Structure 1
Amino acid sequence: MWRCVSGSARKGWGIRRLSSALRRHVVDEGDWSFSSEWWDPASDGHTIFRKLSSHGNGIVSVAAYPASTPSVDQCLMTEKWLQHRYAGVHPDLNDKDCQFKVLGYQWRVLKFNDDTRQSTVKVMAACRPSDPGSLILMQQSHCLAVPYVKSMVSVGLTALATSSFDLLHAVLGKKSMNILCIGHGGGTIPLFLASKIKGANVHVVEIDPVVVEASVEAMGFPSFEKTQQFVWDETLKNRISIHVSDVYDYIKKDSNIYDIVFVDAYDGDDIFPCKLWDINGDFLPHLANRVHPVHGTVVVNLHSDSDVPARGDGDDNSLFFQSVLPLGKYVRKVCSAYKGHFGEAFTVAVPWLCNITLVACKGKIFNRRDIVSCQLASKTNLVESLLNLKFSCIDYFKNGLMVVK
């Protein structure tokens, strides 16, 4: 979940004023310059999924918006790739029956209660002209559309790489990497990690089956059904496990030791559940026991702190910040709770959004901001090259980094 900088602050750099000329040089399909395509205040998009949740998320919906990329040339390359994949699975068919047509690309946005944006993905739709009913919907796993997701991935993996963990061999599939994702959303983070890291064992815990259903039916998350399994790496389904469960119940019974944990769990009221950060509760001790004692890393998405100078009760700015950052007054407590259970912690500000990324680590000594910055900076090139990223990791921790005291 995320919040965009709004009001007078946004007028200074608003999404709408981003130059279209920049797009000719953008190689990252998830670059923030494309956000106006799926974050248009004047449009609610086309609703393609809508269902009532019984797990506190209210109305779960998915809206579709047209995407301007990829180019026609890339579509042609994708069609050839799909034909090759399909022909390999069905060698008995002729070339005509194996041909594919890319119908287009869309942004798909998961919302709770028609308001809070929980996840944004890019999907590709294609079919075989010889069988118009053969529609496939494929989430573009390489495209991370929202800055806080890039922040979590960049800073989390870079922090892990500064430890004794061998990220190189995990990416190559020569070493296992246990990953826990608390909160599924559209499936962006688990699919990205499973696609990039051959040694990944990604366990996703999501309390709401409707959210998982929305991601598969409307956001192109792989269901691994036989009719569409050919478009995915055949080993991918062995790297992702989805557990529909309350995370506390799951953690109590889990026996895995995780190298890295990603926590992005907000409910239908846009609140980070207290039990996931209560320093005196049972969840954090259980989670700490499931994280590797030497290099274990936990990455948490939070609303940024909303400390606002004291103003009159009727002040518009004060009311604005209270409504945009409902968790602000709790963020310091969240950070302290994670530091208390994992040993070291730091935060970074997320560009363009009212979010911060909290990273809590075991086995590291992050006492000073300059030490943290140097340690992370020394590993950014490694992470970018190993994962073949289209964006710069260093952009997501060079500003607003703070060590949690």
Structure 2
Amino acid sequence: MGFPAFSVMTATGKRALPTPDIIDQVMWRGIHERLFLYESEAKEFILNNQNNSYDIIFMDAYDGADIFPHSLWDSNSLFMKALSERLHHEHGTLVVNLHSDADISDLDRSIEGVTTGKYVRKVGKAYKKGLMENERNGLVFSCEVPWLCNVSLVVSRGMSSDGRHRDQIKTSLMKTSLEVDKILRLPFSFLDYLKTGLAII
């Protein structure tokens, strides 16, 4: 995942860089000053910060061997329980970076136009169970990032499908993404991600 360098925080809670570089200023246009990114081993960070609540957590959890440890998506694990407690209960959102596993023989043909494979759906269902089981509202979906062969898996509390059809949910997400683009003045649009492939899990 790519984030502005200026937003990275040290273990002591201070900025890793004293001033933003020109790239952050041009690409992120002020967003880098409102982000506080803590780079840490996932289990250690979640288990050691039990007094904090987070609006959004980005997880890029592949190890040096390019393996996503099962302990980080086991719905019954201590980590998942702690993650559920740390994620804001009304609107907390988890974004997980996964490798795409879509294959022509492994497509989710129950949802037209979506190329999410079995592994991504399995991980999504595990997070849904671990983070949403006792929540009234919530939505789990994935977006393809084809030029990187990755998938962004999103677990969002506060969003709900409310029995709506996939097209209605997609329209709602697109509308919201335009609002986010406008408010944050992002240098890229979320719409491109939604258009390439969306799977409701």
Q: Normalising by the residue count of structure 1, what TM-score does the alignment of the two structures yield?
A: 0.37
Query: Match of 1:389?
Result: 186
User: Are the equivalent residues in 2 in contact too, given 1:369–1:401 (CA < 8 A)?
Assistant: no
Corresponding residue to 1:205 among 32, 39, 52:
39
Give the residue type in structure 2 aligned to 1:364: M
Q: Do residues 248 (structure 1) and 83 (structure 2) align?
A: no
What is the identity percentage for the equivalent residue pairs of Structure 1 and Structure 2? 40
1:347 alignment partner in structure 2:
142
Report if aligned partners of 2:76, 2:130 keep a CA contact under 8 Å in 1.
Answer: no
1:277 equivalent in alignment to 2:66: no
What are the equivalent positions in structure 2 for 1:51-62 lying under 5 Å apart?
none
Answer yes or no: is the 8 Å Cα contact 2:42–2:59 preserved in 1: no
Q: Could you give the per-residue CA deviations for residues 259-318 of structure 1, whole angstroms, max 9, x where no partner exists?
A: 1111112111111122211122221111011011111111111111244539xxxxxxxx
- The structure whose Rg is larger is 1
1:130-145 to structure 2, matched below 5 A, reads 138=21, 140-141=23-24
Query: Quick one: which amino acid aligns to residue 390 of structure 1?
Result: P
Report the equivalent of 2:176: 379
Matching of residues 29-40 of structure 1 within 5 Å = none
Change (3 A) 1:261 1:269: same
Aligned-pair distance for 1:199?
A: 4.7
Could you list the runs of 5+ residues in structure 1 that have no partner in the other structure? 2-118, 123-135, 145-191, 207-245, 311-327
User: Is residue 337 of structure 1 aligned with residue 126 of structure 2?
Assistant: yes
- Matched-pair contact (CA < 8 Å) for 2:24–2:32: no
Deviation track 1:313-345 (CA, whole Å, cap 9, x = no partner) reads xxxxxxxxxxxxxxx653222111111123330
CA distance in 2, matches of 1:250, 1:267: 16
Question: Residues of 1 paired with 2:53 and 2:151: CA distance?
Answer: 26
Bigger fraction of residues in strand:
1
Q: Write the distance in 2 (CA, Å) between the matches of 1:375 and 1:205.
A: 32
Q: For 2:26 and 2:98, locate their aligned partners in 1 and report how far apart those are by CA, in whole Å.
A: 21
Report how many aligned residue pairs link the two structures: 169
Aligned-residue offset at 1:357: 0.9
User: What is aligned with 1:303?
Assistant: 99
Deviation at 1:400, TM superposition (A): 1.2
Quickly say closer, same or farther: Cα 1:399–1:251, change in 2 above 3 A: same
The answer to whether the Cα contact below 8 Å between 2:58 and 2:94 also exists between their aligned partners in 1 is yes
Q: What amino acid is aligned across from residue 250 of structure 1 in structure 2?
A: F
C-alpha distance in structure 2 between counterparts of 1:249 and 1:120, whole Å: 21
Q: Give structure 2 stretches of 5+ with no counterpart.
A: 6-18, 107-116, 133-138
Of 354-363 and 273-282, more deviation after overlay is shown by 273-282
Q: How well do the aligned residues superpose, as a CA RMSD in angstroms?
A: 3.1
SS at structure 2 position matched to 1:261:
strand
Deviation at 1:257, TM superposition (A): 0.6
Larger relative contact order, structure 1 or 2 (CA cutoff 8 Å, min sep 6):
2
Is 1:358 paired with 2:192? Answer: no
Cα distance in 1 for residues equivalent to 2:96 and 2:25: 21
Between the aligned partners of 2:3 and 2:158, the Cα distance in structure 1 is 34
Change in 2 beyond 3 A, CA 1:273/1:399: same
Find the aligned partners of 1:263 and 1:370 in 2 and give their Cα distance.
Answer: 27
Are 1:288 and 2:123 counterparts?
no
Residues in 1 aligned to 2:90 and 2:78: alpha-carbon distance in whole angstroms: 22
Q: Is the 8 A contact 1:288 1:341 kept in 2?
A: yes
Amino acid at match of 2:23: Q
Structure 2-normalised TM-score?
Answer: 0.71
